[in-house]
Each structure stands twice: as C-alpha cells, then as structure tokens.
Amino acid sequence: MTENEFDVFISYSRKDSEVANRIYDALTAEGITCFIDREGISGGADFPTVLSEAIMGAKVLLLVASENSYASEFTQKELTFAVSNKGSRFIFPVIVDDSTLPKNLEFLLSNINWRTLSSRYRIDKELVADVKKKLADPTAGMTLKQKEKNTVKVMMTIIFSIIGLGLIALGYFYWTNNQAEEKAQQDRRQCAAWLKEANGLVYTADTLRNNRATILETFDREIEALDQAEATLTRVDSLREVYMNDSAHAFQFTQYTTANTRRGITERRDSMFVEWNKYALANYEDYELLEDEISKGIALDYVEKALILHPYDANLQFMKTKLTE
C-alpha cells in the first residue's frame, strides 16, 4: 500500500472531531488503515490535491454524518468528488447525532444503507464489523471507470466461457459422432467377416458330405460345421439389430442379411435328415428280421443320428424306444 492508499477515508466536520477520532482509533486497532485530517493539511501542501488523492486511494469513504457535516463546505466537496469518481456505493455514512438527512444527501445516497450510532450500533463492534464487510467486497475502492472495465471484463469472461463451453460441446458432439461412425464401420466389417465365416462353414459341410467314403464317416463334423455357422449368423443378427433402428446407419446394415445362408443351412440339414432317416428305417427293419444285438446296435446308431437332425420326429422316437427296451 502506497502513501496515498488507505482502507478508509474519514470525512467529517471539525466540530465532530471527538467521535471521528473514536472511529479512527477503533478501525486502526483492527488493522484498518485510515486517512483522517486531524490537524488540517500541512503548510505548503496543495489542499485539494491531498484530499482528492487520498479519496482516490481509499477503498471506502466513511462519512461522519451530522448537522455539522451537512453544513460543512469541505465535507460536501469530498462527497461530491467521491460520488463523481467512485459512485455512491463507495460511501459508508454513519449518523452520529439525531439529525435528519438533508434532501440533497438523501437523493445523492438514496441507494445505500445509513447507520446510526446507538447502544445497539456501537463503534467498536457493529461499525467495525460492517466496515470490514464492505472492505471485503472485491470492487471496494474502484473508480467508476474501473468498475465499468471490471463489468466488461466479467461479461467478456462469461461470454468467452459460454463460447468455450459451446465449442467444447460442439467438439464433443463431433467427437462422439466420429466415434459412433468409426464404431459402425468396425461393426460393418465384423458383420461381413462373420457372414464370410458362416458361408465358409456351410461350404465345409458340403465338401465333407461330397467327399466322404461311408455314411458314418463325416456326420459329426458336418453337424459341427452347420452348428458353428448358425451361431455365427446369430452374432451377425444381434449386431445388425443394434443399428436397424438407427436412421444414420440402418441402410448400411441392410446388406448384412443372414436369410440366404440360414436357408442354405436348413436345406442341408433337411437333405441330411432324408438320407439318415432312410438308413435308420432300413436298419430298423433289418433288426426286426434278425433280432440280434449287432443289428440292434447298428439300427440304434442310425436312429440316434437321425434324431439329432429332427429331435421330435415321432417315428424315430418310436424306433428308439423299441431299440432301448
């Protein structure tokens, strides 16, 4: 704090020196720096310059309000200068007698609260506490121009904050959109890979069937290939379903239909069933003629294989029951 900077400028009439000094002593005892012209401006000093610099360097002007100060030319000039340069909220008026505010001060300081010394509002308690609160205001002591700049600065901060948040939101929107698009592309590639895998498994089943030497040789491997193909198609359908209600990606996933491959699997299972059911019936008839354990075992093996393809076939269920009695 420089020599022209103070927490409080005490404006008072010489006739109120006693109460002004009490206020000064109470504030300084709390570490609050004060300007008070107790003895008058020293000889050789520029009187208006000293007072104006002290007012401009203070954070609060405490007016010792009384009939005496209302009539004081210097007090009126100090108030006018303070309000003109720092605004009325810079003033902290305390009425120290039973006077009534003159109309000019009532108008000039109409937007601030006045305090009155009393047994309930004491200098060393309530007044000191209120001055501390006023000094705690970040804008305390600012000139009107400084306050205007501060307001502009706050507004600009708010505006730039809003713009910044908007840009962040926009960036997040584009980022999430890009993330969603990248995820959709990955899932499309996954669907394509799974469809290729399923068709490859169906082809494997066909190859096994066409190249087998005996009817029993490749059954388990053919069924396994077809089962794996169906499981892979189920994964395609599940992933595809995620995007079918998404207008941005639904069209892109319509090509990954599993219907044709599923139809091919069904046709191959039905073809296998026709073949295995025929052998099951033939071997069951052999068992009925021979009624020996060897023919019985062979017939049961064919029947059980056929039931894997059609588990609820009534005729096969009947034959199995007879073969296991």
* CB contact at 8 A, 124 and 32: no
The encoded tokens of residue 231 equal 């499981």
Are residues 186 and 88 part of one domain? no
Are residues 318 and 185 part of one domain? yes
Q: Would you say residue 235 lies in a domain? A: yes
pLDDT at 301: 92
Are residues 138 and 185 part of one domain? no
81-95: per-residue pLDDT in tens?
A: 999 998 888 999 999
Separation of alpha carbons 190 and 187, rounded Å? 5
Q: Is the pLDDT of residue 47 over 80?
A: no
pLDDT at 150: 64
Residue 180 is which amino acid?
A: A
Residue that is last in its domain, among 90, 120, 142: 142
Predicted confidence band at 43 (pLDDT cuts at 50, 70, 90)? Answer: very low
Q: What angle do CA 313, 319, 321 make, to 5 degrees?
A: 100
% the chain with pLDDT above 70? 88
Are residues 106 and 43 part of one domain? yes
% the chain with pLDDT above 90? 58
Q: What angle do CA 70, 135, 100 make, to 5 degrees?
A: 20
Exposed / middle / buried, residue 126 (Cβ in 10 Å: 0-12, 13-18, 19+): middle
The encoded tokens of residue 3 equal 């020599």
What pTM, to 2 d.p., does this model score?
Answer: 0.48
Q: Tokens 């104006």 appear where?
A: 52
Number of domains in the chain: 2
What is the number of other CB atoms lying within 10 angstroms of the CB of residue 286? 16
Q: Is the pLDDT of residue 302 over 60?
A: yes
Are residues 10 and 125 part of one domain? yes
Q: What is the mean pLDDT of residues 273-301?
A: 92
Residue that is last in its domain, among 126, 142, 158: 142
Separation of alpha carbons 117 and 127, rounded Å? 8
Domain extent for 47: 6-142
The larger pLDDT score, comparing residue 42 to residue 94, is at 94
Q: Would you say residue 168 lies in a domain? A: no
CA nearest neighbour of 285 among 299, 304, 266, 302: 299
221-253: per-residue pLDDT in tens?
A: 999 999 999 999 999 999 888 888 887 888 888
Separation of alpha carbons 197 and 192, rounded Å? 9
Are residues 129 and 76 part of one domain? yes
List the CATH number of the domain containing 16. Answer: 3.40.50.10140
Predicted confidence band at 176 (pLDDT cuts at 50, 70, 90)? Answer: low
Q: Would you say residue 162 lies in a domain? A: no
Q: Given its phi and psi angles, is residue 299 left (phi above 0), alpha (psi -120 to 50 degrees) or beta? A: alpha
Q: Is the pLDDT of residue 149 over 60?
A: yes
Residue that is last in its domain, among 142, 168, 197: 142
Separation of alpha carbons 68 and 65, rounded Å? 8
Separation of alpha carbons 311 and 305, rounded Å? 10
Predicted confidence band at 112 (pLDDT cuts at 50, 70, 90)? Answer: confident
Q: Would you say residue 84 lies in a domain? A: yes
**What's the mean pLDDT when you consider all of the chain?**
86
Are residues 184 and 137 part of one domain? no
